[in-house]
Chain A
Amino acid sequence: MKVLVCVKRVPAPGAKINITADGQAVDTAYLAFTTSPHEECAVEAAVQLVEQHGGESTVLTLGPAEADEQLRYAASIGVNKAVLLPIDVADWDPQRTAAAITGAIRDLEAAQGAFDLILFGNESADSGNFQVGVRVSHALERPMVNGIKGIELQGDTVRAKRESEAGVEVYSVPTPCVLGVKEGINLPRYPTLKGRLASKKVDVAQVTPQGESGGQHMVMLLQAAEQVSQTVMLGTGPEAAPAVVDLLEELGLLK
């Protein structure tokens, strides 16, 4: 089977997310970058599906040239091919991103055959627009379900599982189809040394992205209001236990 995974390069901030002085971007001066967690799991799912059923996996991103790092990371854990849609700003709006990814998929499929399964993350970690995958699936006229935490291929159907408040829902979706994956579907493997070396040699295809701007325009980023609390020190080491239990009593948690 042929599987495509779409991933996004995002900064990996620690205790706080700082914003640049002009308010236009996250200050990444001291930050490492990563792939959104949901998408990391989508990559692992693609690799596992190809291990089980044969075929080939491809990873695609629209982002700055440096997103090459995230593509090669995917290759280092077993993805076969990589495609970069380079842009010279941090981000495109979701409609434009979806249009560019749709166009690239059409070109890839015209050249090398259709993907049986296209995987997205449930939402991107940074912008969280909850829509790029849905828009791509609709443009390609393929069924799509988001929030997936289990994928099982049964002939021409994918049994996709999703958790809701009520329980676990199962969708039986005919291939070719599109799924949005959530972290927890699997535990992504770490790259081996051999994988890392092999990923350096993977040929990253470049496709010029094309898409019209949509109707959502970012004006600026803002800090969320911070909860400030004076931390009450209950003590040091095991000797603090009585103070902790007093607190539990006070909060009505000791029954």
Chain B
Amino acid sequence: MSVLVVIEHDRGALSAASLEALAAARSIDTDVHALTLGAAADGLAAELGAHGAAVVHQVHHDVLSDFGPEAWGECVAQAVRALSPSAVLACGTERGNEVMAQAAARLDLPFVANCNEITAGDVWSIVRVRWGGSLLEQCSLDAPTKLVTVTHHQFEAAEAPAAGAAQSLSLDIAASLARTVVSERVERAAGVTLATAPLVVGGGRGVGSAEAFAPLEELAGLLGGVVGCSRAVTNNGWRNHTDQVGQTGTRIAPDLYMACGISGAIQHWVGAMASKKILAINTDTEANMVTKADYAVIGDLHKVIPAITAEIQRRKGASA
């Protein structure tokens, strides 16, 4: 067998990211197998087959009742010993990277995280992400079994029908690994989030204070969007970190990102660059955000934003 793909799921719900990993695996080898952990994931075999998995190895165990990084990593390590794949792939999500690191530690093998391009061979040649995507690294991977994750959103999921034959894989997992299995969960309230909002009004240091975000809130509310911010804002305690866009915050992909009083540091830009359109509002024509944006308004955000809100209200009033 050749390439084994670790399938991420949440209590049986398939993570679409894993379909990207299956697509990446098919670009490396024609013989692709999948690994699902926990009985809750048994129902995924058909869909994994449709995306190119010839065999789906299913592991059942008490400690796999929910996600647990150590239990999952141990399963991957034992699956490698049992099945001897030439490579193991997962998608570079938070869980994907953690599980692969756990497996690599157990197997004492190298692990390359967040790969954009893979040229397979005896030694693999890889282009991977650094600085959250601001920079790339070309590296080589020399190991008897290659362990890698592929950058999320880099490979496109695609159907490629294969057997998807379910096979039970019996592994000997220590019950003590339950120590890092999720013990409680508080479900998120439904609604638009920063990551999924169609419009984000972002504020940076130029906003000046926590109170001065009120006009940004008003504008976002009027358009069914949400407010985001830069790290300068969270560091000043003006807004909660959950609103931060960037390398160490949230990656956004709205139809429009209105970046107000944000200079556009590279670490902010990597979180915003997937936006379909960017409009910068800034007093500085030379600001990186302005030169990189699709649209710009030069001026004081404290005057420009209320004027935009007023214009929207005027037009809405006129059409009502």
| Chain A interface (Cβ < 8 Å from any Cβ of B) | 13-17, 19, 26, 37-38, 93-95, 98, 122-123, 125-131, 134-135, 137-139, 143-147, 164-174, 182-184, 187, 214-224, 227, 229, 231-245, 247-248, 251-255
Q: Is the CB of A145 within 8 A of B312?
A: no
Among B10, B180, B263, B267, chain A packs the most CB atoms within 10 A around the CB of: B180
Complex contacts, B315 vs chain A, CB 8 Å: 245, 254
A-contact bits for B304-320, CB 8 A (1 contact / 0 none): 10111011100100000
Task: Among A13, A166, A173, A248, point to the contact of B185 (Cβ < 8 A).
Answer: A166
- Chain A to chain B contacts (Cβ below 8 Å), 24 pairs: A15-B288, A37-B248, A131-B111, A135-B104, A138-B105, A146-B94, A146-B97, A167-B188, A169-B184, A183-B241, A215-B110, A215-B142, A216-B139, A216-B140, A220-B137, A224-B135, A231-B290, A231-B291, A237-B300, A238-B306, A241-B304, A241-B311, A245-B315, A253-B199
Q: Would B182 and A170 count as touching, CB distance under 8 A?
A: yes
Cβ contacts under 8 Å, A135 to chain B? 101, 104-105
* Shortest Cβ gap from A229 to chain B (Å): 5
B266/A252 in contact, CB under 8 A: no
Are B248's CB and A125's CB within 8 A? yes
Digitize B54-97: 1 where CB-to-A-CB distance is under 8 Å, 0 elsewhere. 00000000000001011001000000000000000000101101
B277 contacts the other chain (CB 8 A): yes
Taking A214-B110, A216-B112 as contacts, is the C-beta distance between A223 and B182 under 8 angstroms? Answer: no
Q: How far is the CA of A22 from the CA of B71 in the complex (A)?
A: 42
Measured CB to CB, the closest approach of chain B to A149, in angstroms, equals 8
Inter-chain contact B255/A251, CB cutoff 8 Å: yes
Q: Is the CB–CB distance between A222 and B127 below 8 Å?
A: yes
* B140 and A219 form a contact (CB under 8 A): yes
Given A128-B113, A215-B141, A222-B135, A171-B101 contact (CB < 8 Å):
no
A214 to B183, CA, bound (A): 35
Q: B-side binding surface: helix, strand, loop or mixed?
A: mixed
Which B residues touch A144, using CB under 8 A?
69-70, 102, 180
B: interface residue count bin: 35 or more
Interface of A is mostly: mixed
* Complex interface: chain A residues within 8 A of B73 (CB): 134
Q: Which A residue's beta carbon lies closest to that of B303?
A: A238
B167 contacts the other chain (CB 8 A): no
Q: In the bound complex, what is the Cα–Cα distance between A227 and B137 (angstroms)?
A: 18
Bound form: Cα–Cα A55–B186 in Å? 32
B2: CB under 8 A from chain A? no
Contacts of B311 in A (CB 8 A): 241-242, 244-245
Q: Smallest Cβ distance from A236 to chain B, in angstroms?
A: 5
Cβ of A95 to closest chain B Cβ, rounded Å? 6
- The answer to whether B308 and A241 have CB atoms under 8 Å apart is yes
A167 to B292, CA, bound (A): 34
Minimum CB–CB distance for B231 against chain A, Å:
7
Contact A238 B299 (CB under 8 A): yes
Contacting pair A125 B247 (CB below 8 A) = yes
A222 touches B138 (CB 8 A): yes
> Does B265 count as interface, using CB distance less than 8 angstroms?
yes
Question: Using Cβ atoms and an 8 Å threshold, which residues of chain A touch B295?
Answer: 231-234, 247
